[in-house]
Structure formats: structure tokens, C-alpha cells
Amino acid sequence: MALQRLKIHLILSVIMALGLICRADDIRQYAGQQGREIKALSDSEIAGYLEGRGMGFAKAAELNGYPGPDHVLELATQLGLSPQQRATVERLKRSMKKANRLGYWLARDERRLDLLFAEGQANDENITPLVQRIGSLEAEIRLVHLRAHIEMRRILSADQLKKYEQARGYAEN
């Protein structure tokens, strides 16, 4: 009985210690980010928005059998794309440049939001429209990517879709 209590006490002590370690990490999770150009975005995220990269916006599509144009072009030989398919995919990829423009506006508005807080000028009246616009821009960027994935699925044959999933590691060989 005493040994069992000792084991329980030891287990609870370990759990509590782990909780304190995790809490200490949470307290410091933003440390070092105060020097960022835009506090809410890493340099990588800013570059991703400005370059129109996917950044996981189309993960729901990608992981459910709707390939992305960039990855299809990377795998063009393995997928056996016809010249017509390749031209269509390249045209689709070019049409996604709209995401770059939207990303520029999003980064611009994040910078404005950051500046309001940095200058001590943030209040509900001036942050609300910025935050709403940022949310809308993020939704538009996501739609650009999701729509491209939907279009890609229409371009590829069932066999090519299967090869794509295998090449990307989503399906068994």
C-alpha cells in the first residue's frame, strides 16, 4: 500500500514538473519576436505572402486528392503530362499570381496594424477595419489556392491522380 502511494506521488510529481516546464515555455513563446519587421508575421511568412506561396492554405484540398499546380509541374515527367496538360497547368499557375497581389495587401495591412500598436494609437475604432480586411484578404488568398487545386483535379486523369498521391507519399505504392 505504501509503495503504491509512493508510485502515485512520484507520477504526480513528474506530471506537475512537466506542467511547469510547459507553462514556462508558454510564457516565453514570443520572446525574440519583438524585433520582427511585422510582429505578427515571420520573415518567412511575409515572403510567402509576397510570393504567393501555398503556406498550407490548400491543405484540405491537397490531402484529399486535389493536387496543386506547383507540385504537378514538379512531377510532370512522373505523371506523364501531355503537352496540352502541361500548358494548361502552367497557365493555371500563372493565374495564381493574384495571390501575390493579395499577399502584398495583407502584409501592408499587418504592417499598419503593427504600427498602430507600436505608436500607442491602437483602439477599437482603428483596428477593427484593418483586422477585418486582413481576415478577408487571407480568405481570398486561400480561395485562390483552393480553386487552383479544384481545377487541377479536372485536368489530370484518374491514373495521374493516383501517381501524384503515390509520388507525394499520400498513398501506398
103-148 pLDDT tens trace: 999 999 999 999 999 999 999 999 999 999 999 999 999 999 999 9
Residue 117 forms part of a structural domain: yes
> Do both 57 and 109 map to the same domain?
yes
Cell of 28: 516565453
> Do both 158 and 96 map to the same domain?
yes
Residue given cell 501555398 in the structure block: 54
Residue 65 forms part of a structural domain: yes
Residue given cell 512531377 in the structure block: 75
> Do both 22 and 45 map to the same domain?
no
Residue-wise pLDDT for 23-59, tens only, equals 555 677 788 777 788 889 999 999 999 998 888 999 9
Residue 173 forms part of a structural domain: no
Structure pTM? 0.79
> Do both 27 and 46 map to the same domain?
no
Enclosing domain of residue 7: 1-31
> Do both 97 and 119 map to the same domain?
yes
Residue 27 forms part of a structural domain: yes
> Do both 80 and 133 map to the same domain?
yes
Closest CA to 73 of 91, 60, 48: 91
> Do both 83 and 140 map to the same domain?
yes
